[in-house]
Structure formats: structure tokens, C-alpha cells
Chain A
Amino acid sequence: MSLSDELYRETILDHYHRPRNQGELKGDNVLSVDGVNPLCGDELTLFLKVEDGKVSDLSIKSRGCSINTASASMMTEAIKGQSVERVNELISTFKDMMMSADEVNVPEEFEDLEALQGVKKYPVRIKCALLPWNTLIEGLRSAESGANPHMVTTE
């Protein structure tokens, strides 16, 4: 398989061209966190609403590359409505999937996210895929502690 087939799978391009849960989330108790990739200048803002121990709603506003946009879009679909506890599990599963050399068994929420396994072979792009997730971690931390979120960078 050439890189283009391996990396730019149909699922990824679909999420890139029609990202889910895009835009600004308005209303009470919505917190926002910025994430940037200083290497390429990509920026995203994550809007997050955590209520009763659940991620009740979230959205992303971004202008990024295909990997970054697709990862963010798939992430929102996988975690919306899930308990914070489950979300934390999914975050660590996703990180395992991106960091480990082997194929990782993935939960059902990863139906689309699995397509990002192809990114593993391209270390610079792993950062693109992880940025939304690292931004989410900061959002959850902030929601739990009440502290203002910091800007997240890939470096």
C-alpha cells in the first residue's frame, strides 16, 4: 500500500471534508480550550460541557490538516454523552493505539478512529492526531478543578 492509501483512507477524508460537531458551543457551563501546533500553525478550540459526571456536549472549531480535523471530528463522536470515566479510558486507549508499535484492540466507539492507526508510521503526523485529545485532557482537568484551562501545544 502506498502512503496515500494507508494514510488517507476514505473514513479520514470523509471526516476531513465533513467534520462532525464543528463550530462554537454556546450556553452556560461551556468551557473552551485552545490547542495549537506551532510547527504548522494549526489551531483548534474545543468547547466542552461537563454535567453530572458526563460529557454532555462538545464541539470543535478548527482549521487544520486532514489528520487533525478527522481525529477531532471522530473524537467528538466517540465521546459525546459518555461518562467522564469512560472518556478517560477512551483517551488512554487512543494514546495507546497511536504510540504502540503493534495493532491495538479497540473498543466499539473506535469504529472510525481505528482508521488513524495508519498515521503511526509518520511520527510528525502523530502530533496532528493527538492535538484534539490533549486539548480534551486539559478541558477535563479544568472542568474538574475549576481552574482556567491553559493553551495546549503539540510540542
Chain B
Amino acid sequence: MLVCPKMIDIETIREDFPILKRELDGKRLVYLDSAATSQKPNVVIDAVSEYYRMYNANIHRGIHTLSEQATHAFEKVRVKIKNFIGAPDSREVIFTKNTTEAINLVALTWGRKNIGEGDEIMLSPMEHHSNLVPWQMLAQEKKAKLVFPELTADGRLDLQSVENLLGPKTKIIAITQMSNVLGTIVPIAEICKLAHANGTIVLVDGAQSVPHMPTNVQELACDFLAFSMHKMCGPTGVGILWGKSELLEAMPPFMGGGDMISAVWADRFVPNQLPWKFEAGTPNIADVIASGAAIDYLSKLGMANVRAHEIELSAYASKKFSELQGVTLYGPRDPELKGGVVSFNMDGIHPHDLGQIVNEDGVAIRVGHHCCQPLMRQMDVMGTARASFYVYTTTEEIDMLVDALQKAQKVFGHVAVR
């Protein structure tokens, strides 16, 4: 695909995000924590308020005009998401409250039905707790086993190790497409080939990848994909589970309640069709509708352009960081192989202190274990500092981060260290 980075007009984009104008103690906000949650453009903020002002009503259950409008707007978003991820059918798009809930849904329905004693669940060593703990819970319940392929020294997934571990007992691979700590991009299409040849299905944690690069589930050929709208210009409270319809059809329902049934008697029920079978109770209507505005916003920019912008930023950050003394960087170096994150530590300064000192200059970064404690243990660190980028991030902001880091070194330098 032809990519033209010039397509991202950064000044215009920044105008769309009102929070970027905020000042903190007289310092301009430098928001470098988009991997935790992204900022929201005006179109998304307005969509939430427009729904409450103009057509707030419950969906799927009224014949009055407002309910019809709300239902229509809600279901339209399902189609937008289907198109955004290249899915064949919008019945395969299920709304949850976040990535975490989407993964738990699969573990508790597909997993409970299909995983038995001695079966193996393959995860990577860099999973977020939300793609680890649900599988630990399932494995405990079913006496199943978790297996982990190796990482290479520079934090890429070792595909040979995936292949070696695949066996007759491997029922599912649940794996991130982009590490929220290392930025590592995992070659999902290749993993799906290996897995499917072995009769294993693949769940992709797309929480970090879907917001930052083009996604096509049919090209990836994965079986499930989970992601969160709040990391991609959308509001909090909306997650997506996409799954192949054959799998979703065969799964038992998740939660019981209104909307997920087609008929109920005193002692039994018939579950609803897809996708509503998995959507019990009143959903987050306003935020789903506003998620549609986020999808439109990103589609207009073009996800290939978003990705190109972040590759540029990663390359720039890599150059700037190499000018700093006493810094350890984690994860792949090649900007083409990683997302727009820089994870690092500075000699003699704990990440917690680093985060606080740069905050003084209005620079927001994440510090700590990033919900990846097993990976931190493997890297033998207590935590890292992480700067993460998005469409509205500028190279100037990376300069400001680097300046703030140098200041931290000064603060901590005036007593002889180590």
C-alpha cells in the first residue's frame, strides 16, 4: 500500500483535541501516555453529548421515535467497526466494556466448553494481565496448562519456539499483536498459519495494535480479536470482541439477562441470535455511538497514515534517546517492527521518580509495571518508564521529554551515584 506521511497534517489534527491546549502550572501539556488511553477529538466528545441531548432512549425495545433513532445509531456503529477491521459480517461484532471483558468472555464461554484437563493454552511472555489472568483462572478450573514461547534478546517473539511448542494438546493461542511495554509487533498472520495447521485457534489481543495500524481480520486469519475504543480516540466503556461466526454460534451465552434472549419461560430460555446473544442488559449506548465518531475520525485520517506518522516518531525518538547517557531501552529498535512506544530506564533513577520529575514540566508518561509483571521479572526490572505516541504527537514533544529527562539526571546527579 502506498503510504504518504504528509497526509498527517499535525497542526490541524491537534486542533481537533481540545485537551491538548491545557496548561498545567503554566506548562503546556505534553501527553505521552496514549497507550494507556488516547485523547478524544471534538467529534467524539460532541457525539456523546448529542445523544443525551437529542435522542437518549433505550435500544431494541421501543417503538417510539427516540428509541428507533438510538437503535439505528447504535447498530450503525457495529457496521462501521466491521468495515474498520475488515470483518465479513457485522453479526460477528460484539460490544463489551473493554478488551479485558472481551477476553474474559472468550475464556468463560469458548474456554469453559473447549478446554479440558491436560489441554494447553499458549500465551506470549509479554501479555498484559488482562490476556493472562483470565487464562490462569480457566487453567486452574480445568487443570489445563499455560505454555509460553520464548522472546529473542531484543524482545521479538521467537516463531520457532511457537512452532516447537505447538502440539496435539494446544487448543488456543491467545496473544497480543503489539506489546504495550516493548512495542513489539507480533506476526499474527504467520502465527495463525502455524496454529491452524495444528488445529489450534488464535485470539488476538488488539488493544495496542488496532488503534495504531490498519487491521484486517480476514488477512490475519485470526479467530478472535479483542480491542478497546478508549485507546483509539473513542470514549471509555466500549470494547469490541470480533469472532468468526461458526465459533460464536457454537459458544454458550456469556451473561444472562435482557436482550440476550429470544424467548423465556419460567424455567428456561432460548438465546438470541448473534451478536445480541452476548450482549445482556442495556449496553453503553452513548459511548458506543460516540465510538462510531472515533472510527469515522480515524478512517478519514487513514490508518496507514497513522502508522506512518508513528514510525516517523519512533525513528525520531530513537535518535534523540541515543544522545542521552545512561539510558537502557527495551524492545526492538527497528521502528518498522514496533509500535509508537519507548520503554526505558535511566541509571540510578527509579521510574516512579522519573515520572514525577518530568510531570513537573507537564510531560505525562507512564511508569511502573504496565500490567505486565511477569515480563518485568523476566527483564529483571521493577518497572520501566514508557512514552507512547499517537496521531497528535509531535517531534517537538519528544524533545521536551528528552529535556525533562536530562533535568531528572541533574536532580539525581548531585550525589555521587552507584
Q: Which residues of A contact B (CB under 8 A)?
A: 2-4, 7-8, 10, 13-14, 17, 39-43, 63-69, 122, 125, 128
Chain A residues near B350 (CB-CB < 8 A)? 64-66, 69
Chain B residues near A40 (CB-CB < 8 A)? 351-352, 367-369, 382-383
With A40-B351, A42-B382 as given contacts, are A13 and B357 in contact (CB-CB < 8 Å)?
A: no
Q: Are B412 and A8 in contact (CB under 8 A)?
A: yes
A10 to B411, CA, bound (A): 10
Chain A residues near B357 (CB-CB < 8 A)? 3-4, 8
Q: Are A65 and B353 in contact (CB under 8 A)?
A: yes
Chain B residues near A66 (CB-CB < 8 A)? 350, 352-353, 412
Q: Which of A3, A17, A64, A69 contacts B356 (CB 8 A)?
A: A3
A50 to B384, CA, bound (A): 37
With A4-B360, A40-B382, A40-B383 as given contacts, are A17 and B368 in contact (CB-CB < 8 Å)?
A: no
Nearest CB of chain A from residue B394's CB, rounded to whole Å: 25
Near A by CB (< 8 A), chain B positions 390-413 give: 407, 411-412
Q: Are B382 and A64 in contact (CB under 8 A)?
A: yes
Q: In this assembly, does B373 line the interface, its C-beta being within 8 Å of a C-beta of chain A? A: yes
Chain A residues near B351 (CB-CB < 8 A)? 40, 65
Nearest CB of chain A from residue B190's CB, rounded to whole Å: 32
A4 to B409, CA, bound (A): 11
With A66-B353, A122-B356 as given contacts, are A41 and B376 in contact (CB-CB < 8 Å)?
A: yes
Q: In this assembly, does B118 line the interface, its C-beta being within 8 Å of a C-beta of chain A? A: no
Nearest CB of chain A from residue B344's CB, rounded to whole Å: 16
- Cβ-closest 6 pairs across A and B: A65-B352, A65-B350, A41-B369, A40-B368, A4-B411, A3-B360
Chain B residues near A125 (CB-CB < 8 A)? 352, 356
With A3-B360, A13-B414 as given contacts, are A42 and B407 in contact (CB-CB < 8 Å)?
A: no
Q: Can you sample 29 A-B contacts with CB below 8 Å?
A: A2-B360, A3-B360, A4-B360, A7-B356, A8-B411, A10-B414, A13-B412, A14-B415, A40-B351, A40-B352, A40-B367, A40-B368, A40-B382, A41-B368, A41-B373, A41-B383, A42-B352, A42-B382, A43-B382, A64-B350, A65-B351, A65-B353, A66-B350, A66-B352, A66-B353, A68-B352, A125-B352, A125-B356, A128-B352
Chain A residues near B383 (CB-CB < 8 A)? 40-41
User: How many chain-B residues does the 8 Å CB contact rule pick out?
Assistant: 23
What 1/0 flags go to B334-377 for Cβ under 8 Å of A? 00000000000000101111001100100000011100010010
Taking chain A's interface residues, is the majority helix, strand, or loop, or is none over half, making it mixed?
helix
Chain B residues near A42 (CB-CB < 8 A)? 352, 382
Q: Which of A10, A43, A65 contacts B415 (CB 8 A)?
A: A10
Chain A residues near B373 (CB-CB < 8 A)? 41
Chain A residues near B4 (CB-CB < 8 A)? none
Nearest CB of chain A from residue B411's CB, rounded to whole Å: 5
Chain B residues near A41 (CB-CB < 8 A)? 368-369, 373, 376, 382-383
Chain B residues near A8 (CB-CB < 8 A)? 353, 357, 411-412
A4 to B407, CA, bound (A): 9
With both beta carbons as reference points, the residue of chain A lying nearest to B372 in the complex is identified as A41
With A39-B368, A40-B367, A40-B382 as given contacts, are A17 and B417 in contact (CB-CB < 8 Å)?
A: yes
Q: In this assembly, does B197 line the interface, its C-beta being within 8 Å of a C-beta of chain A? A: no
With both beta carbons as reference points, the residue of chain A lying nearest to B408 in the complex is identified as A4
A42 to B367, CA, bound (A): 12
Nearest CB of chain B from residue A132's CB, rounded to whole Å: 15
Near A by CB (< 8 A), chain B positions 89-127 give: none
A122 to B359, CA, bound (A): 12
With both beta carbons as reference points, the residue of chain B lying nearest to A11 in the complex is identified as B415
Q: Are B382 and A17 in contact (CB under 8 A)?
A: no
Chain A residues near B415 (CB-CB < 8 A)? 10, 13-14, 17
A3 to B404, CA, bound (A): 13
Chain B residues near A68 (CB-CB < 8 A)? 352
With both beta carbons as reference points, the residue of chain A lying nearest to B412 in the complex is identified as A13
Q: In this assembly, does B416 line the interface, its C-beta being within 8 Å of a C-beta of chain A? A: yes
A66 to B414, CA, bound (A): 14
Chain A residues near B412 (CB-CB < 8 A)? 8, 13, 66
Most buried by B among A2, A65, A68, A122: A65
Nearest CB of chain B from residue A50's CB, rounded to whole Å: 29
Chain B residues near A39 (CB-CB < 8 A)? 368
A106 to B121, CA, bound (A): 57
Chain B residues near A17 (CB-CB < 8 A)? 348, 415-418
A21 to B382, CA, bound (A): 21
A64 to B367, CA, bound (A): 13
Chain B residues near A14 (CB-CB < 8 A)? 415
Nearest CB of chain A from residue B274's CB, rounded to whole Å: 38
What 1/0 flags go to B285-326 for Cβ under 8 Å of A? 000000000000000000000000000000000000000000
A13 to B356, CA, bound (A): 15
A39 to B376, CA, bound (A): 14
A2 to B376, CA, bound (A): 32
With both beta carbons as reference points, the residue of chain B lying nearest to A63 in the complex is identified as B382
A67 to B369, CA, bound (A): 18
With both beta carbons as reference points, the residue of chain B lying nearest to A4 in the complex is identified as B411
With both beta carbons as reference points, the residue of chain B lying nearest to A64 in the complex is identified as B350
Nearest CB of chain B from residue A129's CB, rounded to whole Å: 12
